[in-house]
Amino acid sequence: MVKAWREYNQQLAESHYLVLHNGLSLQQTGLRRKSFFRDNNLEEAEGAQQHNLHSPCIALSGLRGKLIGQDPAFRKSIKTAVYFLSSVRETYADLEEALELTGGVMMDFLSRYQEDFLTSGTCGPFKDFDIGKAVWDQVGPLLNNFHGWKVELEFVVSASDLTFNPQKWR
């Protein structure tokens, strides 16, 4: 799930008309934009700030989970967050503009998640996803004065791997 979730969001970042991760930078010929960061890898984002960090950008947080339900019908709740960030120059008007921009990108991603769920149904990568549980908060400043939104998402998946297997123990 971890790799599939990262790859899916990276593909969305590469195809969204405002994010365009890995697109050529207009500022420096031949330099690829960095606008997607995996598992909340802020070191990668901080390094990209020097030359090719593109705004708006997307950053994934790590995953966190817990067991829900009762034994023997446990399920796993897996939560993650997606950050939608943009650089803010100096003024409050710049902050408002960044929040409008990143809020629009966030809603584009949420609508794409929902469309992909409706298209692939209970057999696709979103079979355990409930967009109705999405929650978002304003965030910033992060990195070098980046502001935007953090969307928290939840997947509820089978906990069949919780079944004890004595063959795995000496």
CB-based burial label for 146 (10 Å; 0-12, 13-18, 19+): buried
pLDDT digits (tens, 9 = 90+) for 86-137: 988 877 888 999 999 999 999 999 999 888 888 876 666 666 777 788 999 9
Please give the model's pTM, rounded to 2 decimal places.
0.83
**Of 114, 80, 115, nearest to 5 (Cα)?**
80
What sign for the dihedral angle of Cα 63, 124, 17, 111?
A: negative
Pick from 31, 56, 67, 60: which is nearest to 44 by CA? 60
d(CA 127, CA 120): 8
